Amino acid sequence: MKCYYFLTFSVSHFCFSVSVVSSSDRLSALSVRMGLTVLSVLSLFLLNITLCCGDAQDAELSLKPNVSHLFAGESVTFICDMREGNATDWLYKFNWNDQEMIHFSKSSSYSLYLTAELSGNYQCIGRRNGSTTFTKQSNNLTLSISALGPTATITADKTTIPVGGSVTLTCSVQGSAGWTYDWFRQIPDSHEVANNTNTSKLQNFIRVSDEGIYQCRGRRGNPGFFTNLSKVYHIQKTLSNRAFVTLQQNWTQIFSGEMITIKCEIQGGENTEWQYEWRTTSSKTPPTHSEYNISRASFSYNGQYWCKGRRDVFFSTAWSDAFTLKVSNKPRPTITADRRTIPAGGNATLSCSVGSYNEWKYFWFRRASVFTEIQVIRNKEPDQMITVTQGGIYYCKGGRGNPVFFTEDSDPITIEKRVSNKAVVSLEPSWPLIFSGEKITVRCQISLGGSTEWEYEWSKPDSSTVLENNAYLNLNASVISSGSYRCMGKNKQELFSVTEWSDVITLTVSGNRPKSSISADSRVFPEGDTVTLTCSVTPSTPGWSYYWYRGKKTSEPLTMAEVVLHSDGQIGVSQEGDYWCRGGRGNPVYYTDYSDVISIKQTVRNRPAVTLHPNWPEVYSGETITLKCEIPGEDTEWDYEWATSSSHQPPNQNEYKINSVSTSHHGHYWCKGRMRSAQQNSTMWSASFQLKIVYDKPRPVLTVSPSWLSPGASVTLKCEVEHPSAGWSFYWYKAVRWESGMNHPYDYDSYDFGHFDDDRDWIHYNRINHVYKYELLPGSISGTAQDSYIIHGQTHTAGYVCRAGRGDPEYHTDHSQPKFVWSADLNSAASLTVSPNSVQHFIFDSVTLNCSGNSSQWRVMIFTQHGYLRKLLECGNWGIMTESTCNIYLLRYYWYQDPVYWCESESGQFSNGINITAHYTGVILVSPVHPVNEGDSVALGCKLRTGNLNSTVAFYKNGKLIQNDDREKLNIPAVSKFDEGFYKCEYSGHESPESWMSVKASRSSLSVSLIMGLVSGISLILLLFLLLCCWHKKPKGTLCIRLVKHSFLVFSEQTLCNTFIVT
């Protein structure tokens, strides 16, 4: 009967839940939860077991020692526990294989000395004292008893104790447990075995740091049972000496077949007699001594090698680091040359190399040819380079070691020696272009060859090199023959004595048969004249002779009696007909294809000409012209034919009138005439006449002189147009403001639509018409033939324009850009003043311009230019206009040259013009803007951009110093014309720009000047009269002039006599 117990603990409530399930009657689980002490819970647990199981086997048989595997000779003790009451409450019986061994007794244990036959099942039975029926049986205990005694096994984590280290030994008895261990060590050089421990070790391992022979055994039980001793284990100790594997030859690479020696060297063990041990990954077994001599290395020796030294059985060095031996195939050296060809009188340097190793010596060999014996020219050369002066076949090999190990022979290298003879290759015939099918010879000539017999080596276009006995190649030319040819000569007696390669000659072969072209200087020729025919070959090449034909193509070539031979390729013929030609050259003759046929016709002698009317050098789009076909011979009536390259076909008339010519008429024109009475007779075509049409309208350039007026001076206008002699008439205009112009402010600058004329001026000719209208000046209604126009008595600022016209109907150019004549005089009708009253200002200054005169509305204008860009602006675009006053900020016009300002009234009146300049300098000159009246006082000043004047100021006139002191101004109390000029000032090393001061003569001064002029004239007349008198009255050779007093001019009364010889 079996019972299953399920025990659950609940720690938090100190409760236990026990469930007992019987397999026989499948009792329901009994759950007991009690909040009692632990003792109460255990009592109930035992009670439940009793209730559930009744007479179940609850006695326990145990074994001491408690091991599963036992050996014969061991003693064991069986212990029987009834697990109920006291041990003395029971009587005990022990069974072996269900046979009674011990009858009921009071002893609960039984000791047995084991033999192999005692293996089997053991059980104990208990009977309560005083009862004959109530018994309890224990569990069965099975014993397996080996007849053979066990043997201990000893192992170690390593067999050698490293320097300063230890080795761990482990003892074990396979298949059983419960042992303690005894350890034994045999000291080196002794046969005694000492117990290595005073007591048995519970652990199965020990750590040792001494060399020796170690054994162990196991023991267990009481009395003790011992295993057999383990096998001996040798523990060696590593010495501090270090072993190295080295290669005696100290080569970086070993080759198959070499003799080498691998050595085991021990550091610090020179006086010790060592035994050597080797190990290797190769397939060879090394010896047991210090050197491993390999008489012939092979791939089977490849691998890693280690060695160590042993002083005795217990002491040795550590294994050396691995030495890797790698055997390679026998090497082949590389031979190179700095040149393959030795120039005349020179040499070549050969180099032999076996990798990058320095231990080789080199052996050099030469053969004069492939048929001669090998010559040793160098032996055991440590230097891998040699210098040679002879041609031949050279090779080398390397050697090292003793006996010498040789490499393979190097590949041969051929060295040629150049001779001074020169090879020249040429073509016969030497035409630059050959055609497929022609015969050509390529020839090689060797200069100064003398009686030397040569072989010739040819380099051909297909990259092949051919050795020939002949000095020439005969070619039947084809496209594949094209390319470069060169040759060289080889001395037959000394094959490596050769010339230089000749220069390359290029043979160009065309696969297309050339075709001849025929041309004539004229297809039509007058009676009695000849026509020159020219035959040429395309592509053009030399060497051709030409064959001429007339009539049918089956005809024979023309003879020299039928033509006039001008030159090779040109003949003259005087007969009508169809002509063609072809070329031929070479021997045998190679012919081109025939040319096309050209027809030659005879004509009458008259030769027409195309002429232009009017015959102007340039024709502009829109003009009216006429092209005429003019034929000499007035008595002949002609029909006309025209040809042209333009897009307009002229009519078959002698005149072609074009009313409004355009660029579509541009091109070449030809004409010819055909007799009306004999249509088969026609003239030749005229020479080409090229009609060129200029699309853009021409624009004349107007110049005015002077640009600044002097009182009463004349102004000359000049209108320049390209080709002025081409029939132009000139029209002259004055610019007058439109009455509505006051409402249209304008600004002509680079953003306006405009036009660049030839002098690179920017001009605006659309918007200017919104401001000014042009009125013809007197006398120019019908135009003037002259390109100049003089205006007398101009006193005020004014603008002028011109244009030109020609033809019928008349064609006009564009108007020129307006040009202004400036007057500096103030007048009552219109005047301009400036504040501050100075020509020069600083760029950050503001200036006020004020208009005055006979008007209520004013506009302040400015005309500026910068390079070729010109601007015409009004104050509203660059300043602030308030009634008649304009305020401007000069920085905006700093870059412009000499701006001119003036006023315009609503009625079109122009004020005086003034110059105002803006400067970035530190000092400027203060000078009046308007001309100064003669006799007035003037003060010129010097002004700083920042600060005040506190030292010497210098003033200059026309570059000459006129005042240099601490006065800040140059005062002129009464100016005269003498004071007019350019002025500037200087302060502290800084100069102002120059400004012109103009002086205007007063009316009284003008009167005095007129009277002085009149008196001078009268005086001159009187002097001439006196001179004539003296001439008649004095002897020859003396001329006397008497000076007299005049009412206006006073001279001293004396006679000046100039003596000269009259012949």
Determine what percent of the chain is predicted with pLDDT higher than 90.
Answer: 41
Q: Is pLDDT larger for residue 625 or for residue 1024?
A: 625
Q: What is the pLDDT of residues 234-271, one digit of tens each?
A: 998 898 899 999 998 888 889 999 999 999 999 887 77
CA 931/CA 837 separation, integer angstroms: 12
Q: What is the pLDDT of residues 856-866, one digit of tens each?
A: 788 888 887 66
Q: What is the pLDDT of residues 101-143, one digit of tens each?
A: 998 899 999 999 899 899 999 999 999 988 888 889 999 999 8
Quickly state the pLDDT bin for 627 (edges 50, 70, 90): very high
pTM beyond 0.75, yes or no = no
The pLDDT value recorded for residue 910 is 84
The pLDDT value recorded for residue 58 is 80
* Exposure class string for 638-654: b at 16+ Cβ within 10 A, else e: bebbbebeeeeebeeeb
Among 17, 46, 41, 43, which Cα is nearest to 30's? 17
Contact 953, 966 (CB under 8 A): yes
HEC letters along 85-142? CCHHHEEEEEEECCEEEEEEECCCEEEEECCHHHCEEEEEEEEECCCCCCEEEECCEE
Cα of 995 vs its chain's centroid, Å: 56
Contact 658, 629 (CB under 8 A): no
Q: Is pLDDT larger for residue 768 or for residue 104?
A: 104
Q: What is the mean pLDDT of the chain?
A: 81
Cα dihedral angle (627, 628, 629, 635), rounded to 10 degrees? 170
Using DSSP's 3-state secondary structure scheme, residue 250 falls into coil
Contact 6, 21 (CB under 8 A): yes
The pLDDT value recorded for residue 13 is 36
Among 287, 302, 291, which Cα is nearest to 253's? 302
Contact 64, 110 (CB under 8 A): no
Q: What is the pLDDT of residues 1001-1015, one digit of tens each?
A: 775 554 555 566 566
The pLDDT value recorded for residue 455 is 86
Most confident by average pLDDT, 2-16, 192-206, 345-359, 653-667: 653-667
176 residue type, one letter: S
Q: Is 433 exposed, middle or buried (0-12, 13-18, 19+ CB in 10 A)?
A: middle
Q: What is the pLDDT of residues 482-513, one digit of tens each?
A: 999 999 888 877 778 888 889 999 999 999 99
Q: What is the pLDDT of residues 403-458, one digit of tens each?
A: 899 999 999 999 988 888 889 999 999 898 999 999 999 999 988 766 677 888 89
Average pLDDT of the segment spanning 510-536: 88
Quickly state the pLDDT bin for 171 (edges 50, 70, 90): very high
Contact 764, 747 (CB under 8 A): no
Most confident by average pLDDT, 28-42, 205-219, 1034-1048: 205-219
Q: Is 779 exposed, middle or buried (0-12, 13-18, 19+ CB in 10 A)?
A: exposed
- What is the token pair recorded at 738? 């439109």
CA 201/CA 829 separation, integer angstroms: 145
The pLDDT value recorded for residue 470 is 83
The pLDDT value recorded for residue 601 is 81
Average pLDDT of the segment spanning 618-625: 92
The pLDDT value recorded for residue 40 is 46
The pLDDT value recorded for residue 813 is 93
CA 212/CA 187 separation, integer angstroms: 5
Sequence-distant (6+) residues with CB within 8 A of 143 are 63, 70, 76, 114, 118, 119, 120, 122
CA 201/CA 191 separation, integer angstroms: 24
Average pLDDT of the segment spanning 822-827: 76
Comparing 214-223, 878-887, 946-955, which segment has the lowest mean pLDDT? 878-887
